Amino acid sequence: MLKLKLHWQILIALFVAVLYGMFFPEEVGYVKWMGDIFLRGLRMIIVPLILTSIISGVANIGDAHNLGRLGLKTFAYYISTSFFAILTGLILVNLIKPGIGADLGLTTEVPELTATSGDLGEVIMRMIPTNIFDALASADMLAIIFFSILVGYFITKVDDKYKVLFTDIFNGGFEVMMKLTHFVILFTPLGILGIVAGVVADQADNLTSLVGSLGMYMLAVLLGLFFHAFVTLPLIVKFVAKANPWKHFNAMSAPLLTAFSTSSSSATLPLTMDAVENNSGVSNKITSFVLPLGATVNMDGTAIYECVAAMFIAQAYGIDLSFLQQMIVVVTALLASIGAAGIPMAGLVMISVILSAVGLPLEGVGLILAVDRFLDMCRTTVNVWSDSCGAVTIAKSEGETLKV
Ligand code: ASP
């Protein structure tokens, strides 16, 4: 039997899902459950996967010196790429000026948004769990990452007898979780069919917003995402990492399509880790450190979007932002992208942080709501792509030989 590669299966699923959602919006319940099961499967593995992979990764890195160097490189990559991303957004939004003359009548009610993200100070504080079981139970990523790094590190500090025992346990646990991940990944095409059909059926009414001034706003965000994904990041992979960006892109096709379909970097994490390790050839030591952290704090796509959206709202209200205010937008967009959780619509919630920082009306969020789901899909894809490029760049800088 012809065995199609996973990314082809996903592409076919996407195509069928779009047609199904468009032509049978009433019957979408027949396929939507597959998406729900798939997402539950992914969520089921995220916490144990992160826990075992980070503990085993850090325990294998060993000394504090190596760990510190890796941490520093990771943060340097995250901050600099997010900064490039925002700059791209800022330039485009000033050139295109999508908000000038936008129709404020479009304002829709802002639904109750759950508080999934907080400001930066709070985010840092929340990193330290008061009760690790609570953090595990509520899938509080940063807290789990922080705790796992410490456990991994201190495993290397105990007696050899226990060190070997615990390293084995967590290495073994990680192997099991990866096997389980492979199993869940088998269902990706069906899951995506269910998710995307549901989204298309839901969003059919919003299609009219694609024309007019929201169209220009979308164009500015999409151009920014495109430039960052296809120019900035590949240049980094090519010249800093000295790897082949195109080969790496191909290696990442399944997680990128999944990020697009699910709008969640966290839910995509198991697939991202699998692809970066098995297709691009990055060691577990690096992936287990860089990727879970990246899925939570490194969001280049979200950063571009935050900046363009805030500037668009300012333009739509006819408020001219001074240079200083635009710099505040840049800094808060960076913080917002770090603070946003890797779940659908997290970026939209964070816009309000920027709006209040520069004194723009909070109702402005209502202006961009109609097209947010589609932009969320696109920016999440760029978020995951940037994480994976970071893993490749850092692996190369550590002297690893990769498959890309
Ligand atoms: N959905 C995005 C993600 O998971 C975050 C956002 O809303 O911008 O990466």
* 8 A C-beta contact, residue 61 and residue 70: yes
Per-residue confidence band for 341, with pLDDT thresholds at 50, 70 and 90? confident
Residue 1 inside a domain? The answer is no
Report the nearest-CA residue for atom 6 of ligand 1: 347
**Ligand 1 centroid to 286 CA: how many Å?**
23
Is residue 333 pLDDT above 70, yes or no? Answer: yes
Residue 402 inside a domain? The answer is no
Per-residue confidence band for 249, with pLDDT thresholds at 50, 70 and 90? very high
Q: Supply the CATH number for residue 62's domain.
A: 1.10.3860.10
Q: Ligand 1 within 6 A of 386 CB? A: no
Contacts of 322 (CB under 8 A, 6+ apart): none
Q: What integer pLDDT is reported at residue 34 of this predicted model?
A: 94
Is residue 223 pLDDT above 90, yes or no? Answer: yes
Q: What is the dihedral of CA 266, 391, 300, 272, to 10 degrees?
A: -30
* 8 A C-beta contact, residue 54 and residue 152: yes
Per-residue confidence band for 208, with pLDDT thresholds at 50, 70 and 90? low
What are the tens digits of pLDDT across the range 125-163? 878 999 999 999 988 888 898 999 999 999 999 999 999
Q: Which of 37-46, 210-219, 227-236, 308-317 has the highest mean pLDDT?
A: 227-236
**Ligand 1 centroid to 376 CA: how many Å?**
6
Q: Ligand 1 within 6 A of 379 CB? A: yes
Domain span holding position 288:
6-397
**Ligand 1 centroid to 332 CA: how many Å?**
16
Per-residue confidence band for 207, with pLDDT thresholds at 50, 70 and 90? low
Is residue 5 pLDDT above 90, yes or no? Answer: no
Please choose from 225, 383, 384 the residue to mutate so as to test ligand 1's pocket, defined by most ligand atoms within 8 A of CB: 383
**Ligand 1 centroid to 344 CA: how many Å?**
5
Residue 145 inside a domain? The answer is yes
Is residue 122 pLDDT above 80, yes or no? Answer: no
Q: What integer pLDDT is reported at residue 367 of this predicted model?
A: 85
Q: Percent of the chain scored above 70 by pLDDT?
A: 92
Q: What integer pLDDT is reported at residue 125 of this predicted model?
A: 83
Per-residue confidence band for 210, with pLDDT thresholds at 50, 70 and 90? low
Is residue 117 pLDDT above 60, yes or no? Answer: no
**Ligand 1 centroid to 306 CA: how many Å?**
11
**Ligand 1 centroid to 383 CA: how many Å?**
8
Q: What integer pLDDT is reported at residue 381 of this predicted model?
A: 98
Q: Considering its fold, how many domains does the chain have in total?
A: 1
Torsional class of 211: left (φ above 0), alpha (ψ -120 to 50), beta (otherwise): beta
Q: 62-66, 224-228, 339-343, 365-369 — which is least confidently predicted?
A: 62-66
Residue 128 inside a domain? The answer is yes
CA distances to 37, 188, 189, 229, 254 from 8, rounded to whole Å, are: 21, 11, 9, 21, 9
35 token code pair: 């998406």
- Work out the mean pLDDT of the chain and round it to a whole number: 89
What are the tens digits of pLDDT across the range 261-291? 999 999 999 999 999 999 999 998 899 889 9
Residue 298 inside a domain? The answer is yes
What does the alpha-carbon distance between residue 238 and residue 45 come to, in Å, rounded to a whole number? 33
Contacts of 210 (CB under 8 A, 6+ apart): 218, 371
Residue 271 inside a domain? The answer is yes
Q: What integer pLDDT is reported at residue 147 of this predicted model?
A: 94
**Ligand 1 centroid to 155 CA: how many Å?**
33
Q: Ligand 1 within 6 A of 347 CB? A: yes
Q: Ligand 1 within 6 A of 261 CB? A: no
Q: Ligand 1 within 6 A of 244 CB? A: no
Per-residue confidence band for 116, with pLDDT thresholds at 50, 70 and 90? very low
Residue 404 inside a domain? The answer is no
Please state the atom number of ligand 1 nearest to the C-alpha of residue 295. 9
Please state the atom number of ligand 1 nearest to the C-alpha of residue 349. 7
Residue 42 inside a domain? The answer is yes
